[in-house]
Amino acid sequence: AQSVTQLGSHVSVSEGALVLLRCNYSSSVPPYLFWYVQYPNQGLQLLLKYTSAATLVKGINGFEAEFKKSETSFHLTKPSAHMSDAAEYFCAVSFKNYGGSQGNLIFGKGTKLSVKP
Amino acid sequence: DTAVSQTPKYLVTQMGNDKSIKCEQNLGHDTMYWYKQDSKKFLKIMFSYNNKELIINETVPNRFSPKSPDKAHLNLHINSLELGDSAVYFCACSAGGPLEQYFGPGTRLTVT
């Protein structure tokens, strides 16, 4: 079965510190991977995506993620946290050829990022 | 212009009532979705729909039904509301396949 696991429901970092949010997937077919961010009381905004091109993907707001097939991982990083990065982050997976459900996003349970001044 | 809009933003209603949430997208995308986000922030697909096919998550009660008057709209009708239906409901759209989805701002439904 296809699934996404986000390690750590809550991550706290100091402003200026490295942000690392972990995501592992389980898939029997090549995945498409996404990171979304949700600010309080708002919808989800796409941060970045991996769709089988370059394995290191750069997104908005200084975030990037690296697809590692051998580790089935797609961890999200940012070199220096900013107060405005405080939000809920979701990793999601989709598949190109997965019967009638292609395109459906399967989400991880989310990681809440807190940034301390 | 907002790419994906939903109305209402907040909906408070009593058990047993029937309610609808509207969704409109102006991106010209072929596929639209409804997701439910529970109190623990977990997001789960409820429906995906394009002009050819409706795919229903088998765990969704048949009290929930999507209705698409045209390509730009996918409304969600809920009959006989229950306390457990309280959640945030998100509409989304995509150009199809495994491409990225664009989400609306959500509708917070509270059933009392």
Using a 10 angstrom Cβ sphere, with 0-12 exposed, 13-18 middle and 19 or more buried, the burial of residue A84 is: exposed
CB contact (8 A) between residue A42 and residue B106: yes
CA–CA dist A33, A51 (Å, integer): 7
On chain B, the residues whose CB falls within 8 A of the CB of A107 are: 42-44
On chain A, the residues whose CB falls within 8 A of the CB of B110 are: none
Q: How confident is the model at residue B84 (pLDDT cuts 50, 70, 90)?
A: very high
- What's the whole-number mean pLDDT along residues A74-92? 97
Using a 10 angstrom Cβ sphere, with 0-12 exposed, 13-18 middle and 19 or more buried, the burial of residue A7 is: middle
CA–CA dist B110, B112 (Å, integer): 6
Q: How confident is the model at residue B3 (pLDDT cuts 50, 70, 90)?
A: very high
Q: For A109, which residue in chain B has the nearest alpha carbon?
A: B42
| Per-residue confidence (pLDDT) for residue A102, from 0 to 100 | 54
CA–CA dist A102, B99 (Å, integer): 10
On chain B, the residues whose CB falls within 8 A of the CB of A49 are: 100
Q: How far is B13 from chain A (nearest CA, A)?
A: 20
CB contact (8 A) between residue B48 and residue A104: yes
A109 touches chain B (CB under 8 A): yes
